[in-house]
Structure 1
């Protein structure tokens, strides 16, 4: 091939690569930020809520546990932190807040928190969520915390129209339980909402975006190269007056394992359509064969010793995404 031919081939390759690259996360002016998560995403949501409490109005926790309950120990994480010393964790939270490692605990006092634990969940047993309820009691008035623990559900995101049987433990870890967890948590956090749209035919747009802007070399630190954001009708042009909800998937529900299944079917988007809620779906990634082969979020320190404070890589990356969407 001639030099000219090589130059043209390289230029064509560069153009194709550029065309295939996902767009950046759009800059917006949303407000009233909240977060939720399932399983490892639930543990991660609690970490984020504590670290950045002043930027949130509430949280939804499905099959998670107390802040910093693993204490950097993988075996504690495997056991879902059952039997964690909640008083000790609350004291540590206050100490970290005083040191400026997380937001002041006063930021938690106004939060509205919705919790869910399935009675048949064997991976994150109800005892772990009961510990979390005790942890929250140290910072948040009881009237602002709702804990649903009476549904015969396994370890999965409960919906009222998509997924496996309610007691199943199988991919995609979304189960049709005749119960809309996404709608329940959003309405608890934000108050009464307009009736949801059509789950089967969302009116908004699910957009893939580049996560490496928020964490250099994300795949080296347990995050995917790209994430998703759902932009509903009325929020396309800057998002003024729109809310923001951050939804964290669980292990093996990431873009590498399920593509956009969780973002499309966890139940958030139909509520987003009718209530002008932008939904951010950050994506974790596997670090295999160890220490994170199942694409869990870093809630026990597999990548970063600072994983549970504001300086933690993954927490900071998600906060930067939220800041882009709120204009902070």
Structure 2
């Protein structure tokens, strides 16, 4: 073989070795979803679109379902002042048309919400609207809203990140408050004490997202995502739970690699409670329409972004189906 041939063969072998593995097929149950910022808006969309397949949600700095109504300007304003009654009516009409799951499925959900008093990007008014939206479908006893912590726009933790009032990468802040633990325990009920976040017992691995959405980077999703598999879930995941954690803008694999997946606070709870954590990943589309790698919660890629036929929502659901055996 020539030198050139050897070089090409070596390059091909290296590329093949570096290719991420497929997302493993599992049989986890009790799926739930959470998100921060654009991930929070997306989590609400996912929860409504597929309410029959999730048991609850954790929303940190987000807003009501379909509140952007296909408008980037509404998204830039974080949907402040959205007509909640109208959005609830839209939800019911879409459910009747089969575009999202029946709204009756929402009634059993448990929802945990968080808004920092110092958050200037997604103001507390947007989260107050979300609380009103949920009240149209979910009993008050199943909703919890924490809005009294002097936190900025970030994922609050009690062990990692910037100062609590910071607005800076990686948009994870050490606030002396464990948001991931609080939302998981609200959704699932009392959990075993978390493990050591500094020395996780499970395995964080990359997987191929293009299996679930062809040419994902042209639609705002990365080629690869992450999944965290804790002890006891390695061989099929029977008896394990599934949580879908959606990062915010500029927290994607291309910007921060695995920082969010490792440090947002979920994995330590996953270790001791047999929770598989799915971390789907976005990708930037520059210079427009998505330079900050946000989730599509206003329609930058897809006019059907907020219903079951939406590309990104459908891709996440396919990932969840792989992990639950649906």
The two structures have a TM-score, normalised by structure 2, of 0.99
Match of residue 36 from structure 1: 34
Q: Deviation at 1:5?
A: 5.7
Counterparts of 1:22 and 1:132 in 2: how far apart (Å)?
37
SS for the counterpart of 2:261 is: helix
The superposition leaves residues 113-148 of structure 1 with CA deviations (integer Å, 9 ceiling, x where unpaired) of 000000110000000000000000000000000000
Counterparts of 1:180 and 1:266 in 2: how far apart (Å)?
9
* Alignment equivalent of 2:236, drawn from 226, 235, 238: 238
Match of residue 303 from structure 1: 301
SS for the counterpart of 2:108 is: coil
The superposition leaves residues 66-121 of structure 1 with CA deviations (integer Å, 9 ceiling, x where unpaired) of 00000000000000000000000000000000000000001100000000000110
Counterparts of 1:283 and 1:40 in 2: how far apart (Å)?
12
SS for the counterpart of 1:158 is: strand
The superposition leaves residues 218-255 of structure 1 with CA deviations (integer Å, 9 ceiling, x where unpaired) of 00000001000000000000100000000000000000
Match of residue 61 from structure 2: 63
Q: Deviation at 1:7?
A: 4.8
Match of residue 140 from structure 2: 142
Counterparts of 2:306 and 2:177 in 1: how far apart (Å)?
31
Q: Deviation at 1:11?
A: 3.3
Match of residue 247 from structure 2: 249
Q: Deviation at 1:10?
A: 3.5
Match of residue 271 from structure 2: 273
Q: Deviation at 1:207?
A: 0.2
Counterparts of 1:67 and 1:125 in 2: how far apart (Å)?
16
Counterparts of 2:181 and 2:201 in 1: how far apart (Å)?
17
RMSD (Å) for aligned C-alpha atoms? 0.9
Match of residue 263 from structure 1: 261
Counterparts of 2:4 and 2:250 in 1: how far apart (Å)?
42
* Alignment equivalent of 1:209, drawn from 207, 210, 217: 207
The superposition leaves residues 147-173 of structure 1 with CA deviations (integer Å, 9 ceiling, x where unpaired) of 000101000000001101101100000
1:50-199 matches, within 5 Å, as 50-199=48-197
Q: Which runs of 4+ in 1 moved over 4 A?
A: 4-9
**Number of residues paired by the alignment?**
326
SS for the counterpart of 1:109 is: helix
Which consecutive unaligned segments of at least 5 residues does structure 1 have? none
The superposition leaves residues 194-227 of structure 1 with CA deviations (integer Å, 9 ceiling, x where unpaired) of 0000011100000011100000000000000100
The two structures have a TM-score, normalised by structure 1, of 0.98
* Alignment equivalent of 2:285, drawn from 284, 287, 294: 287
The superposition leaves residues 29-53 of structure 1 with CA deviations (integer Å, 9 ceiling, x where unpaired) of 0000000000000000000000000
SS for the counterpart of 1:131 is: helix
The superposition leaves residues 170-202 of structure 1 with CA deviations (integer Å, 9 ceiling, x where unpaired) of 000000000000000000000000000001110
Which consecutive unaligned segments of at least 5 residues does structure 2 have? none
